[in-house]
Each structure stands twice: as C-alpha cells, then as structure tokens.
Amino acid sequence: MAGGMSDNVILVGFMGAGKSSVGRLLARRLGRCFVETDDMITAKEGRPIPEIFTAKGEPHFRALEDEAVRLLALKRGDVIATGGGLPCQDGRVEALQALGTVVWLSGDLAALLERARRTGDRPMLDGKTREEIEALYKSREPYYAKADLSVDTTRLNPDQVAAEVWKALQARARPPQPRPPHPTASR
C-alpha cells in the first residue's frame, strides 16, 4: 500500500463522516488492527470526551490530541480513525502522511450533521448555530483536502464507504502500468 513508512491507513474528516464505523469495517476487511485517537484520549484521561471538554476545556483536549499523534508513531499497519479536529492545524496532515495513507471521508455538511446528531455527544457542535457550524466546517475543509485519497460518503452506508476506501487503496498500491508499445507502432 502506498503511503508513509509505517503503512497505516488514517481516516480524517468532519464529525459524522463515519470514521469510527468505517474504520472498524475497513480494519476487518484488511485484517488489521483498529485504533481511534478519541479512544486513546478517553483511556488516558479516564473519562468520556464531553466530560474532558467540560472539566478542562478545548485547549486541554487539543493537547491530548498532540500527545496521541506522537504515540501514533509507534503504530504499524493499523487503521486509525482520528477526531474531526485533529488534522486541522498547520503541519498536522503532513505528520499523519508520514505515518501512512491519509483518507478523507467527505460528504455534504447536512448529511454529516444528520449522522453526527444520531451518533453520540459532540461538544464542538453543542450550542452552535448553523452558521457557526458552517464556518467551523469551512475552516477545516482545506486541511482535510490535503489527504492522499478521498471518498464522498454522502449517499453511502458504512459498508459501502469501507468498500470504496478499500478500492481506492488498492488502486493506489497498484498504479496503472504504462501500456507496452503496440507492435505495429514499432519500427
């Protein structure tokens, strides 16, 4: 598989993109281990993410993400799902690319938010207006767009997204070979 030295597959994208469910399915399909940066953080802190935000605030959570990224350097051949804000700082996507192939699970914002509402508590969305969420999304999109591959998840279920990611990874691992010259074209 193409990518950084450590051959991991790293999923990035906004909240509701399906990084956790797709990551789990993809890991199964590839026969790899599945890791989530949010799980690394909750395990270290001993409490769920919303509580970390309430008790210690966003800057503390971002510092925990920095530490999680440092620990990812130990991973080899894993499928890694990142929190929605983790890649959104200068140099971060490049740091992830050094660990493997970065895949953006993209989608229409409305579809992402609909999923995010159904799956879990997200402090970054709590109490925000639609305009504020759109602004957050717009500020993050340029970072996600640096990924090596992207799959539009808007109309797909997690199984279908995992299959699309798998296909894109295969295509990247085996780039099309140049065609041999046609016999009649040789002199």
Query: Which of residues 3, 18, 23, 83 is near ligand S3P by CB under 6 A?
Result: 83
Query: Which residue has 């971002």 as its token pair?
Result: 62
Decide if residue 85 touches ligand S3P (CB under 6 A): yes
Query: Which residue has 């395990």 as its token pair?
Result: 43
Decide if residue 26 touches ligand S3P (CB under 6 A): no
Q: Encoding tokens for residue 41?
A: 């953080």
Query: Which of residues 19, 32, 92, 115 is near ligand S3P by CB under 6 A?
Result: 19
Query: Which of residues 123, 141, 163, 168 is near ligand S3P by CB under 6 A?
Result: 123
Query: Which of residues 95, 124, 163, 168 is near ligand S3P by CB under 6 A?
Result: 124
The CA distance from 112 to 106, in Å, is: 8
**Any residues with CB less than 8 A from the CB of 169 and at least 6 apart, and which?**
1, 9, 101, 103, 149
Q: How far is the CB of 35 from ligand S3P (least distance, A)?
A: 13
Element (H, E) at 152: strand 149-152
Residues that bind ligand S3P (CB under 6 A): 15, 19, 38, 49, 83-85, 122-124
